[in-house]
Structure 1
């Protein structure tokens, strides 16, 4: 599900169009730059967390705690980008109609993203309430960033593709090199590949259908 969300974020960055986007760099370039920065941020964060072997989070410690924090960081960071996207969509040329569509689309993303956090936390012994609170907390930056992005829309427009690429790159790295890698260790590559592929296809199908309905 996180891979599907990453694909959606990168695609939104690459296809981002706004008449007031005066950046000299193409959306492809800005999205790629953002993705690279996202991967670098995750690697740097992972390097720092690896130094704290006695780290404890939500009843977890050691490697489990560090992995949970990585997922929490990447989900929270990408919420900043989504919040900017919401604010820009309401303040842009297309106004409230586009804003409602973008908000609905991102709301759909929040459901599997929250589930992804729960899937990481619950098997490690974290309580249902704690997992739910973590899932909700990662989306708090959306309304916090939407307001300033709306008020200063012209300043935020050029950085939207960078933010989307940053979130997509960071999320993809964690999904592939942390979560899927652990899944292969706990099961096998066939089981992991089958479940991941089915989840990816289902998520992409659901998002596509909902976005199509929102456009109508």
Structure 2
């Protein structure tokens, strides 16, 4: 294929999408005090955001090949369950000042969102393979879309005592695969385009597991079932409306 866009342009575009993830933590700068109840509220909000993101991934991947999306979801489920069991068996390393169960949840959500970022990086590279105009559009869409995903990470980390600036850096870290994957995806667009539905499904499967295995149990500790359901649905609706606004 002829390279109509420079590799530096593709790398910078994907790097921008990674950096915008860190902006998601900034709203928590305005929360002067986060008591224990915020662990549950933050978990419920993050659950809704991640469910909406998973819905978007499945919908996007199914447009190309639904069976490959299912294969990816099964792979994502196996990987995240294996990672969870490995952490249980080997102990969880400290994450900053977090230890034990808090460190485990931090590692899990950052790991799941990092897996998600591989698919987004491929998406940027494949888009630029279709021309600069399409590449710019997809870059902007993913960059804006990454902000609430960064918020989902911060909502798990900040109520547990992680400073907002560190939560922002963890969010950016989770998106670093985007610039790393964009270049090979652009150079070998045909091969990576076929892989994209699997990658989208893998991320969706891991995120859905995270919602039901980690976030919703946390949300239910200090909120009633009705309150959890309300927060999750409102969070899902907000993210879905955000996605509709981007695409239209």
TM exceeding 0.5: yes
Say if 2:229 is the partner of 1:182: no
Say if 2:113 is the partner of 1:65: no
Say if 2:117 is the partner of 1:79: yes
Structure 2 counterpart of 1:153, from 186, 189, 208:
189
Shift, 1:54, TM fit: 5.5
* Structure 2 residues not aligned, in runs of 5+: 1-48
Give the TM-score of the pair, scaled to structure 2: 0.78
Structure 2 counterpart of 1:12, from 55, 60, 79:
60
Say if 2:148 is the partner of 1:112: yes
Which structure 1 residue ranges, 4+ long, deviate > 3 Å from structure 2? none
Structure 2 counterpart of 1:192, from 228, 231, 239:
228
Q: After superposition, give the CA deviation of every residue in 1:35-91 in whole Å (9 maximum; x if it has no partner).
A: 111011110000011124463112111111111101010111110111001101111
2:89 counterpart SS class: coil
Q: Which of the two has greater helix per residue?
A: 2
RMSD (Å) for aligned C-alpha atoms: 1.2
> Is 1:53–1:63's contact at 8 Å kept on the other side of the alignment?
no
Equivalent-residue separation in structure 1 for 2:165 and 2:245 (angstroms): 31
> Is 1:30–1:165's contact at 8 Å kept on the other side of the alignment?
yes
Equivalent-residue separation in structure 2 for 1:80 and 1:163 (angstroms): 7
Matches within 5 A, 1:127-142: 127-142=163-178
Give the TM-score of the pair, scaled to structure 1: 0.89
Q: After superposition, give the CA deviation of every residue in 1:182-209 in whole Å (9 maximum; x if it has no partner).
A: 1012322111110010000011011101
Q: After superposition, give the CA deviation of every residue in 1:16-41 in whole Å (9 maximum; x if it has no partner).
A: 3xxxxxxxxxx010000001110111
By relative contact order (CA 8 Å, sep 6+), the higher-ranking structure is: 2
What is the aligned residue count? Answer: 200
The aligned residue for residue 21 of structure 1 is none
